[in-house]
Amino acid sequence: MRNRILAIYASWPAALALLLLLGYLAWELLRAGRGAAAVVPLLVLPIFYTALRRLQRTRSRLERAEGNLTDRSTELETLHAISREIMASSRPERIFATLDRECRKIFEFDCAWIALAEPNGELLTAYRHQRRRATEFGRGLPVEGLAHWARAAKRGQRVDDLRDLPDSSPLRGKWTEPEIRSLLAIPLVIEEEVIGVLSLQSERIGAYDDHQLAVLTTIAQQVAIAIESARRQERATLDSLTGLFMRDYFFTRLAQEDDRARRYGGGFAVLMVDLDDFKRINDEHGHLAGDHYLQEAGATIRAQLRGADIPCRYGGDEFCLLLPQTGAEGARAIAERIRAAVAEQIVGVDGLALRTTVSIGLAVYPDHGTGELSELIRKADEALYRAKREGRDRVVLFAA
């Protein structure tokens, strides 16, 4: 309340009213014969008013400085949080989620997305958030026209009003919704190579300034490094044919899950999965056909699993799966989903319709042993061979 009163008294209308009032009072005093001495105190009022105006201006400057300092502090905290969290993440989905959460603290946007470059150079949306729609992850639609712009520009751009741009501009492509008016678009660059584009968009005209462009450019540099690091780690841990994890990574995660279960309780399951009569596909149709079938089988198996499950290509046509915090009944249900999906799968190769089934053996910690992890793997393997002996295309739980 006091600040509002100061602002009112320090305004120009108040100044004019005060001067008129002082002039009127001085005239009345002189006319009443009170003398010049009675008028002197009135001269103090303009001095007081001048000091009041200076105080108000100083206060306004301090408030602006405090606001700017708070904004910069928030920006620094956000940049630190983004750097800390995304650099520690090996999954693009977590990188995108962190970016979405932290950017909201310093930017206003109605739409945000990241498009990543495919091996063929095409840009596909990997993350997209719109205020009126659910957030999307994964490979999306091509971002038409923007790939060429990003590779040519290799620097961020701010657009205050998209309607001021020509229709042919790549920044007015199908990747912007009709209601979007302003945006920031930043190429993600690693060693002079554009690996994607980050964009924030607003329905307001002139929603962003050059400072925000600079801040988002800094964020984009961190995002580019994190995404490239995640890609390199993925290439080092994934089997190139099936897209499933390799053995070394699988055993690392298995040891971590075993340590968690021993420390905090709970359990986990191990599934051994083997394609039935896969050798016949290789012998009759060649290894290229066999490789294509393995690739499709790996995708089918992965599609039946949960996000936390770890599928591994164990060797040849054999797979090993880790199901964290899963008991025997839950593991059997997942195994049956895999068995049914593979049995229904038909893979077309050069006019051929290839199909086979799988046998699955499973063992569960701690039900089937609390000793060495190799013991649990061995018991799952024994259950697998029992499934083979009993006719294949079935799921068998280890039984002592």
Q: In the structure, what pLDDT confidence band is assigned to residue 383 with cuts at 50, 70 and 90?
A: very high
Q: What is the mean pLDDT of residues 299-315?
A: 91
Say what the pLDDT of residue 15 is. Answer: 57
Where are the strands (E) in the chain, listed by range? Answer: 111-117, 123-130, 136-137, 157-159, 182-190, 193-202, 268-275, 310-315, 318-324, 347-349, 352-354, 358-365, 395-397
Q: In the structure, what pLDDT confidence band is assigned to residue 389 with cuts at 50, 70 and 90?
A: very high
Q: In the structure, what pLDDT confidence band is assigned to residue 2 with cuts at 50, 70 and 90?
A: very low
Closest CA to 128 of 82, 93, 169, 90: 93
Which pLDDT tens digit goes with each residue over 249-262?
899 999 999 999 99
Residue 392 has pLDDT above 60, yes or no: yes
Please name every residue paired with 273 in a beta bridge, in sequence order, or none if there are none.
319, 360
Q: Which two structure tokens, joined as six digits, stand for 84?
A: 């800390």
User: For the chain, what percent of residues have pLDDT higher than 90?
Assistant: 30
Say what the pLDDT of residue 96 is. Answer: 79
Residue 321 has pLDDT above 50, yes or no: yes
269 and 326 in contact (C-beta within 8 Å)? yes
Instruction: Pick 273 or 79 by higher pLDDT.
Output: 273
Say what the pLDDT of residue 330 is. Answer: 94
Superfamily of domain 89-237: GAF domain (3.30.450.40)
- Give me the chain's average pLDDT, please: 80
Q: How far apart are CA 326 and CA 130, in angstroms?
A: 35
Say what the pLDDT of residue 161 is. Answer: 93
Residue 183 has pLDDT above 60, yes or no: yes
Residue 91 has pLDDT above 90, yes or no: no
Say what the pLDDT of residue 371 is. Answer: 79
Q: In the structure, what pLDDT confidence band is assigned to residue 102 with cuts at 50, 70 and 90?
A: confident
**Cα dihedral 98/101/102/107 (nearest 10):** 140
Say what the pLDDT of residue 134 is. Answer: 59
Specify the pTM: 0.55
Show me where the domains of the chain are located: 2-74, 89-237, 247-397
Say what the pLDDT of residue 365 is. Answer: 94
Least confident of 119-123, 306-310, 314-318, 354-358: 119-123
Say what the pLDDT of residue 25 is. Answer: 59
Which pLDDT tens digit goes with each residue over 120-178?
777 887 878 777 665 666 666 667 667 778 878 888 889 999 889 888 888 877 677 78
Which pLDDT tens digit goes with each residue over 195-226?
888 888 999 999 999 988 988 888 888 888 88
Class of domain 247-397: alpha beta
Q: In the structure, what pLDDT confidence band is assigned to residue 13 with cuts at 50, 70 and 90?
A: low
